[in-house]
Structure 1
Amino acid sequence: MINLKPKILQALESNQALVSLLGGKRIYQLVAPKPDEFPRVVFYEIDNKDGKFADDEAISSDIKIQVSVFSKGSTSAIAQEVDRTMKSLGFSRYASTDLYEEDTKVFHKPMRYKTSVMIEEE
């Protein structure tokens, strides 16, 4: 199994345009420490499974990641920077939607990405 989460976090935090839009490095894995901090980005691994096989051994991992943008206003500019960063890492976006969470009055844009990585590329 290949763990790309540290690489994703580093790439998102290195995107200065994204950090500027967020008002700081408000990029978290799985859970944001301050639930009332907006805007912010939260990401997590949806799936990480063996991909291709050779001689009965996995030679690649198929990885799916969800990156969510949470904001009190528009999510568009932040989402574009997230998308640019994820694509630079070799991910392709396969799903995206616009949501509004009535209970918290927050706009939420979940974006799902996938990639396949050869194990020796790790």
Structure 2
Amino acid sequence: MNQLIMDTLGPIGIPVEYQNYTGSEKEYIRFFYLPQVDFQSDDEEIYSTVYVQVDLFTPWDPNSNAKQIKQRMKQAGFKKNFEHELFEEDTNLFHYVLRFYIIKEED
């Protein structure tokens, strides 16, 4: 799943990291997973829902890149279920929070 998300968001052109960004760019994307829900039938897992939070940090207007994130995640099969913009006073960065989910059938 990490590779799918990185391949999906990488073409936006800003760094994408799982959980913790350690680079020096002013603008970056990080993502992490939220608790997962599994559905079972007759003690067999039939599908799972993967929830992911994608955070965009930028000193500039976040709307253009946030729009690209939403479009690219949708194209990859994810559904958006949360969106919020805030300003981080301690870093002077806009923080655009997006949450998505994808349902995967188990083999």
TM-score where L is the length of structure 2: 0.92
Gaps of 5+ in 1: none
Deviations 1:28-62 (A, max 9, x none): 1101112x422111111112231x32321111111
Gaps of 5+ in 2: none
Which of 66, 76, 82 pairs up with 1:95?
Answer: 82
Deviations 1:58-112 (A, max 9, x none): 1111111000100001111111111111111211111111100111111000101
CA distance in 1, matches of 2:40, 2:75: 26
**Paired residue for 1:5?**
2
Which of 53, 76, 88 pairs up with 2:40?
Answer: 53
Equivalent residues in 2 for 1:1-122 (5 A)?
4-13=1-10, 15=11, 18-19=12-13, 22=14, 26-34=15-23, 36-50=24-38, 52-120=39-107
Q: How many residues align structurally?
A: 107
Q: How far apart are 1:119 and its partner, in Å?
A: 1.3
Structure with the higher helix share, 1 or 2: 1
2:16 counterpart letter in structure 1: I
1:100 counterpart letter in structure 2: F
CA distance in 2, matches of 1:81, 1:118: 27
